[in-house]
Amino acid sequence: MSVDRKTVAKIASLARIKMDEEELDRMVPEFNNIIAFVEQLGEVDTSGVEPMTAVIPQALRLRDDVVDADPLTGGNVREKVLANAPLAEHGFFAVPKVIE
């Protein structure tokens, strides 16, 4: 199945990647080559086959309900959380104004 330019543009928008006309021109055939390549999978009879859920079968472990038990995954690290922010003010991340 061939994917048209409009679809690629829509996917790019969904993925929040701005693309100009020239980039789209380049992307459409590449995109289609890859899609054609992966579509080989359609040949495989997978009736009765379960999709893989865990590559190495093991149970999901659950964590105890303890606050800041491990400083690496706990809170109260605002300085660290904001350290790399492109724009932070008054302890918040700042972004262009959003209208809801």
Partner 1 sequence: MSSYRIHGTTGEWEVVIGLEVHAQVTSNAKLFSGASTEFGSEPNANVSLVDAAMPGMLPVPNRECIRQAVRTGMAIEAQINKWSRFDRKNYFYADLPQGYQISQLYHPLVGEGQLEISPDEKNPDQTKIIGIERIHVEQDAGKLMHDQHPTMSYVDLNRSGVALMEIVSRPDMRSPAEAGAYVRKLRSILRYVGSCDGNMEEGSMRADVNVSVRKPGGELGTRTETKNVNSVRFVMAAIEHEARRQVDVLEEGGTIVQETRLFDPGTGTTRSMRSKEEAHDYRYFPDPDLLPLELDDAFLEECRASLPELPDAKRKRYIEVLGLSAYNAGVLTAEVDTARWFEALLAETAAAQGKAEAHVAKQAANWLISEFFGALNKVGRSLEDSPVSHAQAAELLALIGKGTISATIGKQVLETMFETGDNAAAIVEREGLTQQSDSGAIEAAVDAVLAANGDKVEQYKAGKEALFGFFVGQTMKAMQGKANPQVVNEVLKAKLG
Partner 2 sequence: MTELTNLGVRAIRDGVAAGDFTAREVAEAFNANVAAAADLNAFVIATPEKAIEAAEKVDADRAAGKPLGSMAGVPIGMKDLFATRGVQTTAASHILESFVPEYESTVSQKLWDAGAGMLGKLNMDQFAMGSSNETSYFSNVISPWRRNDGGNAPLAPGGSSGGSSAAVAARLCPAATGTDTGGSIRQPAAFTGITGIKPTYGRCSRWGIVAFASSLDQAGPMARDVTDCAIMLGAMAGFDPKDSTSLDLPVPDWAGSLDSDLRGKKVGIPREYRMDGMDAEIARSWDDGVAWLKDAGAEVVEISLPHTKYALPAYYIIAPAEASSNLARYDGVRYGLRDLPQGANLQDMYAATRAAGFGDEVKRRILIGTYVLSAGFYDAYYTQAMKVRTLIRNDFEKAFEECDVILAPTAPSAAFALGEKVDDPISMYLNDVFAVPASLAGLPAMSVPAGLSSAGLPLGLQIIGKAFDEQGVLNAGLAIEQRAGFTAQPEKWW
Contacts (CB under 8 A) with partner 1, residues 37-76:
53-54, 58-70, 72-76
- Partners of 88 in the β-ladder: 93
Residues in region 25-84 near partner 2 by CB under 8 A: 27, 30-31, 33-35, 37-44, 46, 49-52, 54-56, 58, 60-61, 63, 70, 72-73, 77, 79-81, 83-84
Which of 21/65 has CB closer to partner 1? 65
Among 25, 41, 42, 39, CA closest to 12: 25
CB under 5 to 8 A by kind: which of partner 2, partner 1, none does 30 bind? partner 2
What secondary structure letter does DSSP report for 44? Answer: S
Q: 31, 38, 45, 42: which is closest to 2 by C-alpha?
A: 31
